[in-house]
Amino acid sequence: METRINDNSDAVRKAADRKFSGLMQDFMEHFTMLVKEYCPHPPERPPSGYQRTGTLQLSIDNAFNATKKFMQVFTTAGYGGWVELGTKKMKGQLYMLRAFKETLHEFGLKAVVRGGKWRIEPA
């Protein structure tokens, strides 16, 4: 009787990569949706001379690279970081951090910093 061993490790690795890429993309899309939802809006009745444009919310976008296992959610409005972190004259509103924490929780994950780099791991 002859015993044969077939190496399916490449097929398994490719299937795992496809599954992981799909999960990353789902995570990023959900995170982006929440960032847009939590993005601070101008007041309902803006002071005179103030126009309600929604520029910050409209500028929120994302990028995804499955090969490099890289995802990014960002704003192209030049002031998005100031709104998130604040300035000496304005308190930060942490809309991105809130969305990130909620997305981690909903996906059963946690963020860990190791060697100066962020990693997302199972909670």
Q: How far apart are CA 46 and CA 91, in angstroms?
A: 19
3-class secondary structure per residue, 21-72: HHHHHHHHHHHHHHHHHHCCCCCCCCCCCCCCCCHHHHCEEEEEECCCCEEE
Domain that holds residue 34: 9-122
Q: What is the number of domains present in the chain? A: 1
Beta bridge partners of 110: 121
Query: Is 1 a domain residue?
Result: no
The three-state secondary structure class of 101 is helix
pTM above 0.75, yes or no: yes
- pLDDT tens-digit profile of 28-58? 999 999 999 999 876 566 666 666 678 888 8
Residue 53 is assigned to a structural domain of this protein: yes
